[in-house]
């Protein structure tokens, strides 16, 4: 039980190098003398085409740099070195952002400051990428929750060619992916075993910007298998700061936000392939707008879960997919309620969370009513308020404990103008989407 690793003694984090061969990317790092290697496996990947070799090398470098967050954070040493090629200025900016903002929650939890530590050296400039004539088809990230399933439905409705993709082991995701009836790609990621050992011995630990890492993995996959789009499903409010710490915004999932999306896409287009596009299809939608659309996708009701506690295992029992206690469960239940018939909704969760008086406080937190918003990815307070206001009007909901409480004690003190559900369902700016998909929500 002794801790013999003192992260404060580590001087230097080094990007040692990365290579790709035979469907396997090997990413090497070092914390002083300790070598760490992460492996990412792309099942059945074809040989790299010569005309894409340069692009593959760039994408591999970016994956190497971004996946480094997991290893860097074990000690956050003062010095960051590159044994291999240095990033171009645009890449260096992106890396800095990911290390500072993507690790902000880590820094907050561990009470450390990163902003002045992350200094990324860079080369002067780099050449612009050219088009690679990638086949017109998309890799769509699937997560087992409602968001990616809505994207998949939108794209299916347009007869878009695409495959569903996920990284790592998850029965729940596989279950959902199988129901999409599309080609599936499950990429395997193996964290360096030495890191797990370091964590046992006293290394720093905490959240890493996993969406950024997965974005880099899928970008490399797009070049290997031949896809010209990498599609994620982050909605409008994803990436909004959860709190301010040390005058820095701390965001639970910064890499799901628009800032990362824009910067990463710009880098991919200018340095990897000008015809490879990275975007989030649901960015124009609010959480409520996403759930409104998900409410029509009955075939996933007994397979999906947005619960952050029970998210890896699938199960036929609702209880094994929805813990019923976390803010995600509460929010998704509430956000679906206006758009589903009541018996269908309670069947998904196996219980009625809005008729449980013990949860009144938790729902008040979602409404930001006398309590802080939970440290989790849930919709905005005005979305929860509008949803509850709508339920207060519905005869089949109005007597349920949480709804009745809201109706009696909170609703009379809210401005009715702020409770317009229809307004929250409006589709926002779609300029970042490929032209042909800008009408997909209509």
Distance CA 99, CA 71 (A): 11
> Is the Cβ of residue 134 or residue 346 nearer to other proteins in the bound state?
346
21 binds other proteins (CB under 8 A): no
Least distance in Å: CB of 169 to other proteins?
6
408 binds other proteins (CB under 8 A): no
Touching other proteins, residues 225-284 (CB under 8 A): none
320 binds other proteins (CB under 8 A): yes
Bridge-based pairing state of the strands 277-280 and 229-232: parallel
Give the x/- contact pattern for other proteins in 101-120, rule: CB under 8 A. --------xx----------
181 binds other proteins (CB under 8 A): no
394 binds other proteins (CB under 8 A): yes
350 binds other proteins (CB under 8 A): yes
305 binds other proteins (CB under 8 A): no
Tell which one of 136, 309, 408, 409 touches other proteins (CB under 8 A): 309
323 binds other proteins (CB under 8 A): yes
> Is the Cβ of residue 78 or residue 398 nearer to other proteins in the bound state?
398
Tell which one of 351, 430, 432, 438 touches other proteins (CB under 8 A): 351
Stretch that binds other proteins, among 264-272, 349-357, 406-414, 431-439 (CB under 8 A): 349-357
371 binds other proteins (CB under 8 A): no
Least distance in Å: CB of 295 to other proteins?
11
Q: Is 201 left (phi over 0), alpha (psi -120 to 50) or beta?
A: alpha
400 binds other proteins (CB under 8 A): yes
Least distance in Å: CB of 106 to other proteins?
8
Distances (CA, A) of 28 to 122, 198, 408, 419: 19, 16, 60, 52
For residue 177, list its beta bridge partners.
Answer: none
- Using CB under 8 A as the binding criterion, the count of chain residues that bind other proteins stands at 42
Touching other proteins, residues 111-170 (CB under 8 A): 169-170
Tell which one of 78, 136, 200, 409 touches other proteins (CB under 8 A): 200
51 binds other proteins (CB under 8 A): no
Tell which one of 153, 194, 355, 420 touches other proteins (CB under 8 A): 355
Secondary structure of the chain in HEC code, one letter for each residue: CCCCCCHHHCCEEEEEEEEEECCEEEEEEEECCEEEEEEEECCCCCCCCHHHHHHHHHHHHHHHHHHCHHHHCCCCCCEEEECCCCCCHHHHHHHHHHHHHCCHHHHHHHCCCCCCCCCCCCCCCCCCCCCCCCCCCEEEECCCCHHHHHHHHHHHHCCCCEEEEEECCCHHHHHHHHHHCCCEEEEEEECCHHHHHHHHHCCCCCCCCHHHHHHHHHHHHHHHHCCCEEEECCCCCCCCCCEEECCEEECCCHHHCHHHHHHHHHHHHHHHCCCCEEEECCCCCCHHHHHHHHCCCHHHCCCCCCCCCCCCCCCCCHHHHCCCCCHHHHHHHHHHHHHCCHHHHHHHHCCCHHHCHHHHHHHHHHCCCCCCCCCCCCCCHHHHHHHHHHHHHCCCCCCCHHHHHHHHHHHHHCCHHHHCHHHHCCCCCCCCCCHHHCCCCC
Place of tokens 């905490």: 206
Stretch that binds other proteins, among 33-41, 203-211, 280-288, 419-427 (CB under 8 A): 203-211
397 binds other proteins (CB under 8 A): yes
A 10 A CB-CB count for 248 gives 17
344 binds other proteins (CB under 8 A): yes
1 binds other proteins (CB under 8 A): yes
310 binds other proteins (CB under 8 A): yes
199 binds other proteins (CB under 8 A): yes
Least distance in Å: CB of 132 to other proteins?
36
Stretch that binds other proteins, among 130-138, 246-254, 261-269, 335-343 (CB under 8 A): 335-343
Tell which one of 6, 81, 399, 429 touches other proteins (CB under 8 A): 399
Binding residues vs other proteins (CB under 8 A): 1, 109-110, 169-171, 191, 196, 199-200, 204-206, 298, 308-313, 317-320, 323, 325, 341-344, 346-347, 350-352, 355, 394-397, 399-400
């Amino acid at each position: 039980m002794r801790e013999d690793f003192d992260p404060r003694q580590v001087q230097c984090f080094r990007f040692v190098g990365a290579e790709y061969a035979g469907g396997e990317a090997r990413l090497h790092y070092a914390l002083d003398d300790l070598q760490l290697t992460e492996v990412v496996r792309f099942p059945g990947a074809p040989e790299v085409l010569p005309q894409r070799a340069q692009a593959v090398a760039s994408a591999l470098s970016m994956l190497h740099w971004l996946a480094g967050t997991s290893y860097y954070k074990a000690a956050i040493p003062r010095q960051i070195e590159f044994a291999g090629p240095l990033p171009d200025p645009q890449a260096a900016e992106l890396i800095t952002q990911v290390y500072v903002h993507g690790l902000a929650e880590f820094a907050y939890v561990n009470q450390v400051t990163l902003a002045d530590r992350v200094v990324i050296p860079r080369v002067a400039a780099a050449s612009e990428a050219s088009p690679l004539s990638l086949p017109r088809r998309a890799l769509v990230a699937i997560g087992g929750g409602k968001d990616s399933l809505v994207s998949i439905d939108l794209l299916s409705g347009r007869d878009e060619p695409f495959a569903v993709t996920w990284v790592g082991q998850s029965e729940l995701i596989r279950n959902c992916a199988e129901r999409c009836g599309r080609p599936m790609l499950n990429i395997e990621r193996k964290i360096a075993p030495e890191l797990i050992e370091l964590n046992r011995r006293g290394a720093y630990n905490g959240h890493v910007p996993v969406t950024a890492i997965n974005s880099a993995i899928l970008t490399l996959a797009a070049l290997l298998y031949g896809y010209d789009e990498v599609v994620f499903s982050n909605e409008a409010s994803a990436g909004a700061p959860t709190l301010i710490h040390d005058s820095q915004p701390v965001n639970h999932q910064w890499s799901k936000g628009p800032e990362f999306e824009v910067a990463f896409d710009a880098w991919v287009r200018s340095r990897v392939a000008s015809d490879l596009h990275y975007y989030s299809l649901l960015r124009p939608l609010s959480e409520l707008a996403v759930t409104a659309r998900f409410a029509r996708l009955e075939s996933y009701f007994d397979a999906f879960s947005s619960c952050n506690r029970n998210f890896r295992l699938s199960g036929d029992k609702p209880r094994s997919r929805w813990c019923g206690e976390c803010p995600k469960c509460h929010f998704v239940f509430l956000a679906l309620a206006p758009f589903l018939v009541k018996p269908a909704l309670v069947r998904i969760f196996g219980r009625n969370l809005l008729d449980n008086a013990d949860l009144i406080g938790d729902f008040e937190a979602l409404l930001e009513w006398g309590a802080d918003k939970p440290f989790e990815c849930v919709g905005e307070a005005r979305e929860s308020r509008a949803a509850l206001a709508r339920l207060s009007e519905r005869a089949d909901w109005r007597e349920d404990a949480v709804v009745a409480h809201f109706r009696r004690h909170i609703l009379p003190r809210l401005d009715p103008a702020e409770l317009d559900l229809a307004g929250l369902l409006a589709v926002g700016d779609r300029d970042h989407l490929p032209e042909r998909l800008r009408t997909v929500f209509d």
